[in-house]
Amino acid sequence: MDSKIFCLSFLAVLLINGSRGANILAVFSFPAPSHLIVEISMAKVLAEHGHNVTVITSLKPHVTHKNLNLIYIPLTEEQRKAHEESIANMTERDNSNIITSMFHMRKEIFVVNQINCDIMKNPRVKDLYKNKHNKFDLVMIGYCFNSFQIGIAQKLRVPVVLATSMFPSGVFNPMLGNTHSQAYVPAMFLSVEKGRAMSFGQRLINYITINMVEIITYLIDKDNKKYYEEVYGNDLSMPKYEDLNKNVSLVLFNSHGLSEGPIRPNFPGVIEVGGIQIKETPDPLPKPILDFLQNATDGAILLSLGSHLKGAYLKPDTVQKMFNVLSKLKQKVIWKWENLDKIPGKSDNILYSKWLPQDDILAHPKIKLFINHAGRGGITESQFHGKPMLSLPVFGDQPANADKMVKDGFGLSMSLLTLEEKPFHDNIKEVLENPQYTEKVKAFSQLFRDRPLTARQSVLYWIEYVLRHHGAAHLQSPLVHMSFIAANNLDIYALLICLIVVCLLIVKHIIRYTGKSNSSTYVKNPKKVKTI
């Protein structure tokens, strides 16, 4: 009897977990901690549910698990220099102009893809498909303009899922066949007030930006093709570069359109798992931070300018101005600062720390304000915990993220490059003392958390879905496989124009003919009468 029940429950477990214990390869080699944290949080969910996940990274992740096997290929000194230089170049420039900042972004992507390319050529990575003992069921690619890396899934002949810290946009149309909706969906880097129709001017800018992004994406794609040929060039079994994007089962996005907007049409391959990097229940804080916060009778401020933008890129006098303002506040300040030997200045209300459990700190009730660089991760965490913000954006998507955050009413934003003491102080005071920012962000937090499946459940469900069905080609929009002419019905319009032209010609002839015959009745008839 007992064994029968055991067998039945065992069967039930098997049925429920039909795809238990898959071998998954995750290529998360983009050397930015903000991307890695989102991507590896997805991998961790899978590891926690019994899947064996092998992760290729170029940075050491903070997340670990016994089912996460790391293939860690650190940057060479040369790569690290090139990467830091390209980021420093982006930081120094004025990035308020979307178009020029996109061209700088192409340079940065080029440098990063050179690193990705070297990683794909690394013997440890090549061994994954050369060694016949390795068996993989699925490949995840951490996506940021690096389609050539999808090649490894073709090598292993398994389905591929993209995991990205980006949100749905035209950049993903080649994989998902989402439609262009330029009249009402703002482009990447643009933000408009949620739920509002764009004005004529906004639509014009939107149209130009979307097409600029297409041009940059096209240029980046050409670089990608070069890297694809560099890694797999002499391999005849590989598909054409142009076909790689057509073979993606799903894309996991770090977004949640229902709460964040914009409201846009998405095909079923769009899976939104925004907030995946945020723990559903926070971990206890390290003792020094907890003690420091416990003493914060007037509340506390968290200041973190991200991991991409190291303290050293900041101009010393900007740092001095920030210190002058912060050290005079009655609130406590936790400041993420890399170089503890050279801190901006000593003050009783400031605690410097090289690395911070940002998510756990934001969850603490004493935190009243988050000063950040408008990275997507930080803004999402702040929104999840309902904390208002002051953003100091610098480059890339940061100005647009900050702009959207301000339009949503969750705080204020000012450029880090032109920071002055008085406006910095006034902005901090405004966000701390005016309750409207906190109220709005708290209301958002409720919407953001209200979902049929949590972010973690969604990742698990959809990855296992792709495993169960050996890919998800059936979810794909036919648009992915259609030519530009067919996708835009240009051939049908051409046919219609031909028909209209033919009709017009016929009408013209009829008019001419009836005109002639009419005139003949009135003008020629007398003649005819005469001859008769």
Ligand X SMILES: *[C@@H]1O[C@H](CO)[C@@H](O)[C@H](O)[C@H]1NC(C)=O
- The residue among 246 and 451 lying less far from ligand X, judged by its C-beta, is 246
Q: Which amino acid is at 264?
A: R
- The residue among 388 and 471 lying less far from ligand X, judged by its C-beta, is 471
42 half-sphere exposure, CB direction, 13 A CA radius? 35
**159 lies in the site for ligand X, by CB under 6 A:** yes
**57 lies in the site for ligand X, by CB under 6 A:** no
Rounded to the nearest whole angstrom, what is the least distance from the CB of residue 109 to ligand X in the complex?
11
- The residue among 70 and 212 lying less far from ligand X, judged by its C-beta, is 70
Q: How far is CA 168 from CA 144, 171, 173, 231, 486, in A?
A: 12, 8, 9, 28, 23
- The residue among 27 and 402 lying less far from ligand X, judged by its C-beta, is 27
- The residue among 60 and 516 lying less far from ligand X, judged by its C-beta, is 60
- Sign of the alpha-carbon dihedral angle for 218, 219, 224, 226: positive
**295 lies in the site for ligand X, by CB under 6 A:** yes
Rounded to the nearest whole angstrom, what is the least distance from the CB of residue 253 to ligand X in the complex?
21
Rounded to the nearest whole angstrom, what is the least distance from the CB of residue 223 to ligand X in the complex?
14
- The residue among 315 and 528 lying less far from ligand X, judged by its C-beta, is 315
Rounded to the nearest whole angstrom, what is the least distance from the CB of residue 316 to ligand X in the complex?
21
User: What's CA 433's distance to the chain center, in Å?
Assistant: 33
Query: Cβ distance 394 to 327 under 8 Å?
Result: no
Separation CA 321–CA 25 (nearest Å)? 47
Judged by DSSP in three states, 25 sits in strand
Among 4, 66, 132, 157, binds ligand X (CB under 6 A): 157
User: Segment contacting ligand X (CB under 6 A): 154-162, 202-210, 417-425, 432-440?
Assistant: 154-162
- The residue among 312 and 505 lying less far from ligand X, judged by its C-beta, is 312
Binding pattern to ligand X, positions 224-263, x when CB under 6 A? Answer: ---------------x---x--xx----------------
Separation CA 187–CA 195 (nearest Å)? 15
Strands (E), 4-147: 23-28, 52-57, 68-72, 138-142
Site for ligand X, residues 423 to 462, rule: CB under 6 A:
none
Binding pattern to ligand X, positions 274-293, x when CB under 6 A? Answer: -----------------xx-
Rounded to the nearest whole angstrom, what is the least distance from the CB of residue 294 to ligand X in the complex?
7
- The residue among 107 and 528 lying less far from ligand X, judged by its C-beta, is 107
**52 lies in the site for ligand X, by CB under 6 A:** yes
Return the ∠ at Cα 49 (arms to 48 and 50), rounded to 5°: 95
> Whose structure tokens read 């890339």?
396
Among 81, 107, 130, 524, binds ligand X (CB under 6 A): 107
Among 32, 111, 416, 431, binds ligand X (CB under 6 A): 111
Sheet holding 350-353, edge to edge: 350-353, 332-336, 300-304, 367-372, 389-391, 411-413
> Whose structure tokens read 């019994």?
50
User: Segment contacting ligand X (CB under 6 A): 82-90, 112-120, 161-169, 266-274?
Assistant: 82-90
Quick one: three-class SS letters along 300-366?
EEEEECCCCCCHHHCCHHHHHHHHHHHCCCCCEEEEECCCCCCCCCCCCCEEEECCCCHHHHHCCCC
Cβ neighbours for 253, distance < 8 A, ≥ 6 positions apart: 164, 166, 167, 168, 270, 271, 272, 273, 274
> DSSP of 395-463, one letter per residue?
STTHHHHHHHHHHTTSEEE--STT--HHHHHHHHHHHHH-HHHHHHHHHHHHHHH--SS-HHHHHHHHH
Query: Cβ distance 206 to 182 under 8 Å?
Result: yes
User: Segment contacting ligand X (CB under 6 A): 83-91, 118-126, 374-382, 424-432?
Assistant: 83-91
Torsion of CA 478, 484, 489, 492, to 10 degrees: -120
User: Segment contacting ligand X (CB under 6 A): 30-38, 84-92, 219-227, 406-414?
Assistant: 84-92
Query: Cβ distance 145 to 217 under 8 Å?
Result: yes
User: Segment contacting ligand X (CB under 6 A): 153-161, 193-201, 255-263, 318-326?
Assistant: 153-161
Binding pattern to ligand X, positions 10-29, x when CB under 6 A? Answer: -------------x------
Rounded to the nearest whole angstrom, what is the least distance from the CB of residue 291 to ligand X in the complex?
4
CB atoms under 10 Å from CB of 474, counted, come to: 8
- The residue among 89 and 266 lying less far from ligand X, judged by its C-beta, is 89
**89 lies in the site for ligand X, by CB under 6 A:** yes
Rounded to the nearest whole angstrom, what is the least distance from the CB of residue 175 to ligand X in the complex?
12
- The residue among 65 and 449 lying less far from ligand X, judged by its C-beta, is 65
Both tokens of 191, joined, read 């933000």
Judged by DSSP in three states, 237 sits in coil
CB atoms under 10 Å from CB of 263, counted, come to: 13
**130 lies in the site for ligand X, by CB under 6 A:** no
- The residue among 205 and 219 lying less far from ligand X, judged by its C-beta, is 219
Separation CA 350–CA 502 (nearest Å)? 80
User: Segment contacting ligand X (CB under 6 A): 34-42, 152-160, 219-227, 444-452?
Assistant: 152-160
Interface with ligand X: number of residues (CB under 6 A) = 22
- The contact set with ligand X (CB under 6 A) reads 23, 52, 54, 69, 82, 85-86, 89, 107, 111, 154, 157-159, 239, 243, 246-247, 291-292, 295, 471
